[in-house]
Chains A and B, each alone.
Chain A
Amino acid sequence: MFLPKRGAAADLIVIGASEEITGVYAEPARNEIRGMQLAVDQINKAGGVLSRQVKLVIEDNANNPGTAVEKARKLIQVDKINALIGTVNSANSQATSNVCLEATIPFVDTGGHTDSVTGQQCHWTSFRTCHSTWMETHATGYSIANKLGKKWYYLAPDYAFGHSLLDGYKDIEKKLGVTVVGEDLAPLGTTDFSAYLTKVLNAKPDVLIIMQQGQDLINCLKQANSLGLLKRIAVAGPQGEIENFWSLPKEARVGYWGFEWYYKSALVTGKNKAAADFIKTYTDLYKQPPTARSVFGYVTAQQLAAAITKAKSTDAVKVSQALSGEHFQGLWQGDAYYRDVDHQLIWPMWFGQVRGDGAGGDEWNIFEVVDSQPGDKVEKPADDQKAVCKLNYPA
């Protein structure tokens, strides 16, 4: 079998994007794509990479790991991509990551949070931009104990993602001297949360920590509201996706959440010029402010291009080495880097409150950031990760 020369066809750098365009993650996926697209357009306007234009080939993985594998292979074999980015669903992230290792193509997971991608099943070809579950729980753990109290009740979705969030909180609860008055695991896709919420009302914690995501979170908050729980007990959680809160009725937009990024806060963007430009261009282009997902897409595409430039080559080993450990200025205050040991992007995490109405005449502006934690404080120590993750670069 002959090996095609990747991307050489029309003197292009080809980047593949695999996203959940259809299915329950369609909206976060769309925002990631918008971020990528914007980054690629800007790179091309500035003359491309290695004086070649960058082409972004987008495929729908239909929120199904089997399809994700199929599409990753199609991108690699047919479109001859130089690198692959994308994914929201953790199962898709891991499945795609494995295909890319097999084909020795660099892969940057934009939005699948599961620990394994940069943990037990890390690969030298794989990187991750969004925070790991460990970072989310540790960052929010400090802030919750600080702002809301130390008597906690856990409500977690009963699957791998929920379990790893729960493990994260259990690790931090010891450091903070927190009392846990209750813990419930609700199956993923639970439609009726009232059973759990009644138990919470009777346990009277300071804070109910809700680890549900997406549809489950929406169901849970809507029902907590109708039960009157939101008026009695503070709620908080590791990951507040603004896409979710925009689709909640106003009275259920409450609680304190971990934010992976936010477009309107001095604590997040500070005086970062690049961030201000990005927010303005993006909002003008898509008539909607960028979300954390947009930033995952943008930063991923941008850093991948930077790595190819630095490596002066599209060779997978060289690009991976160029990407790993390189400090850069992102779209927030302070720097960031994909760390050598496991290829996780180390960047800050924020914490804040959600409100019903948009503030300052901006209907989108429903978050208020109140706290931030630096990335290296909240991710697992690099030395611990060495035991779990073996990157095994080819000699």
Chain B
Amino acid sequence: MMKFANVIGVSFMAVLLVLLPLLLPAVGLNISLGTTVILFALAASSVNVLLGFTGLMAFGNAAFFGVGAYGSALFIADVNANLILGLIVGTVCSTLAAAIIAPFLIRRRGIYFSLLTIAFGQVFYFIAYRWSNVTGGEDGFSISKPPIFGGSSPTLNGSSYYYFCLAIFAVLLFVLWRIMRSPFGLTLQGIAQNEARVRYLGINSDRFIFVALLLSGFVAGLGGALYSVSIAFSYPLLMDWHQSGDFVMMVILGGVGTIWGPVIGAAIYAIAQNVLSSFTPAWQIIIGGMFIFFVLVFPKGLLGLGAARRRREEEASQDPDVAVVPAGLIEGRQP
């Protein structure tokens, strides 16, 4: 059962997102920035599946995002100019990519997991960079906006593409929320809080982490596939580890382990970067400073502040509308 406060919160976010194409131009921003926010939020949510729910410090999700972007863009450019099919192909590719590297990752925890995700992410990055006959190398390659069902069906532009992405995003967010309340999701959260105990219960946590990686790859890839269509371009920097770091930061900004945190984080990050860089070339200092400030002062992110209080209230009702921030994630061992 959803609590009243959350009904208000969710409705507020929903109304805000629906009205965004009207609000953005009013404050001097463009609609496609709204699309970018939503697609970055998808990528950040994919990080959140690993980081927030399973307690795994994933630092390579830009690779899934990029594989999705290249998969759909290549399909649309070379095989069939059909948006829906392109998205399916891109997402299948990214999920496959996750399946390929997952066996290397599922037994690793902590720093090793982070470093391995960075490293595998870089492998994908270099493949995109090197394989220039197919990917266009550093120059990237451009596509034309595909009709939604191919052939002579309509092409989505500007605000119609925004609403298309929003619809997909809403469905996915709802699905993620359901998953996190399912036995599977609760097991993932159990792994984050106390993996040893989960194992004592006879549960093979590696398998759960395998599925979490696939889920993460799927969500990130869908975001990437939609993004390459949005900008009608695909390029290797999408997979660079700096991009992964940005996605992680969005999660931290918004709130680790919360459903809406990545959305809020992505919005703050993308809008801040876009607006600041129009005013000052030193915007990187402000973004970097924001990272430092949040890590030191708000480690649980904006939503995390409220979530901790609410969780205490809801402990009995077993109703994690805002999923539990794994205790072990913030308070680590004394070094």
> Which positions in A face B, CB cutoff 8 Å?
1, 21-22, 26, 59-60, 62, 64-67, 69-71, 73-74, 76-78, 90-91, 94-95, 98-99, 102, 114, 116, 121, 158-161, 163, 187-188
Q: How would residues 188 to 231 of chain B score, 1 for a CB under 8 Å from any chain A CB and 0 otherwise?
A: 00000000000000000000000000000000000000010001
Interface residues of B in 133-187 (CB under 8 A from A): 136-140, 142, 145, 158-159
Question: Contact check: which of B29, B231, B274 meets A65 at CB < 8 Å?
Answer: B231
Question: Contact check: which of B132, B145, B231, B232 meets A163 at CB < 8 Å?
Answer: B132
Complex Cα spacing A69 to B232, Å: 9
Please determine whether A74 and B140 come into contact, CB atoms closer than 8 angstroms: no
Please determine whether A65 and B277 come into contact, CB atoms closer than 8 angstroms: no
Question: Contact check: which of A59, A74, A99, A159 meets B137 at CB < 8 Å?
Answer: A159
Please determine whether A70 and B232 come into contact, CB atoms closer than 8 angstroms: no
Please determine whether B232 and A78 come into contact, CB atoms closer than 8 angstroms: no
A-B contact count (CB 8 A): 101
Please determine whether B138 and A99 come into contact, CB atoms closer than 8 angstroms: no
Please determine whether A66 and B231 come into contact, CB atoms closer than 8 angstroms: yes
Q: A60-B278, A95-B231 are in contact. Are A102 and B28 (CB under 8 A)?
A: no
Please determine whether A22 and B142 come into contact, CB atoms closer than 8 angstroms: no
Closest to A95 in B: B233
29 contacts between A and B (CB under 8 A): A21-B277, A21-B281, A22-B283, A22-B284, A59-B277, A60-B277, A60-B283, A65-B235, A66-B227, A66-B231, A70-B33, A70-B274, A71-B277, A73-B30, A73-B32, A74-B29, A77-B25, A77-B31, A78-B30, A91-B138, A94-B233, A95-B232, A98-B142, A99-B232, A121-B142, A158-B130, A160-B138, A160-B139, A187-B130
B75 interface contact, C-beta 8 A: no
10 pairs of A and B residues whose beta carbons are closest in the complex: A69-B231, A77-B30, A159-B138, A60-B277, A160-B139, A159-B137, A95-B233, A65-B235, A160-B137, A74-B30
Q: How far is the CB of B70 from chain A (nearest CB, A)?
A: 13
Please determine whether B139 and A94 come into contact, CB atoms closer than 8 angstroms: yes
Contacting residues, chain A, for B142 (C-beta < 8 A): 94-95, 98, 121
Closest to A164 in B: B139
Contacting residues, chain B, for A69 (C-beta < 8 A): 32, 231-233
Complex Cα spacing A59 to B238, Å: 20
Question: Contact check: which of A22, A76, A98, A159 meets B139 at CB < 8 Å?
Answer: A159
Q: A59-B277, A59-B278, A95-B233 are in contact. Are A161 and B139 (CB under 8 A)?
A: yes
Please determine whether B132 and A78 come into contact, CB atoms closer than 8 angstroms: no
Contacting residues, chain A, for B28 (C-beta < 8 A): 78
Which of B31, B142, B159 has the most chain A CB within a 10 Å cutoff? B142
Please determine whether A159 and B132 come into contact, CB atoms closer than 8 angstroms: yes
B48 interface contact, C-beta 8 A: no
Contacting residues, chain B, for A116 (C-beta < 8 A): 139
Contacting residues, chain A, for B36 (C-beta < 8 A): 66, 70
Contacting residues, chain B, for A64 (C-beta < 8 A): 237
Interface residues of B in 114-143 (CB under 8 A from A): 129-130, 132, 136-140, 142
Complex Cα spacing A76 to B36, Å: 17
Q: How far is the CB of A63 from chain B (nearest CB, A)?
A: 9
Complex Cα spacing A43 to B13, Å: 48
Interface of chain A: mostly helix, strand, loop or mixed = helix
> Which positions in B face A, CB cutoff 8 Å?
25, 28-33, 36, 129-130, 132, 136-140, 142, 145, 158-159, 227, 231-233, 235, 237-238, 273-274, 277-278, 281, 283-284
Please determine whether A70 and B235 come into contact, CB atoms closer than 8 angstroms: no
Q: A66-B231, A77-B25, A121-B142 are in contact. Are A160 and B278 (CB under 8 A)?
A: no
Q: How far is the CB of A110 from chain B (nearest CB, A)?
A: 17
Q: How far is the CB of B126 from chain A (nearest CB, A)?
A: 9
Question: Contact check: which of B31, B32, B132 meets A160 at CB < 8 Å?
Answer: B132
Contacting residues, chain B, for A94 (C-beta < 8 A): 139-140, 142, 233
Please determine whether A66 and B284 come into contact, CB atoms closer than 8 angstroms: no
Contacting residues, chain A, for B158 (C-beta < 8 A): 1
Closest to B234 in A: A65
Question: Contact check: which of B29, B140, B274, B283 meets A95 at CB < 8 Å?
Answer: B140
Closest to A30 in B: B281
Please determine whether A161 and B138 come into contact, CB atoms closer than 8 angstroms: yes
Closest to B33 in A: A70
Contacting residues, chain A, for B136 (C-beta < 8 A): 160
Contacting residues, chain A, for B159 (C-beta < 8 A): 1
Q: How far is the CB of A82 from chain B (nearest CB, A)?
A: 17
Complex Cα spacing A22 to B129, Å: 21
Complex Cα spacing A187 to B130, Å: 8
Closest to A76 in B: B30
Contacting residues, chain A, for B237 (C-beta < 8 A): 64-66
Q: How far is the CB of A298 from chain B (nearest CB, A)?
A: 21
Given contacts A69-B32, A90-B139, A163-B132, 16 further A-B contacts (CB under 8 A): A65-B231, A66-B227, A66-B231, A66-B237, A70-B36, A71-B277, A74-B274, A74-B278, A76-B30, A77-B25, A95-B142, A114-B139, A159-B132, A159-B138, A160-B139, A188-B138
Contacting residues, chain A, for B235 (C-beta < 8 A): 65-66, 91, 95
Contacting residues, chain A, for B278 (C-beta < 8 A): 59-60, 74
Complex Cα spacing A102 to B132, Å: 25
Complex Cα spacing A76 to B33, Å: 13
Please determine whether A66 and B30 come into contact, CB atoms closer than 8 angstroms: no
Closest to B160 in A: A1
Please determine whether B138 and A62 come into contact, CB atoms closer than 8 angstroms: no
Contacting residues, chain B, for A187 (C-beta < 8 A): 130
Q: How far is the CB of B287 from chain A (nearest CB, A)?
A: 11
Contacting residues, chain A, for B281 (C-beta < 8 A): 21-22, 26, 60
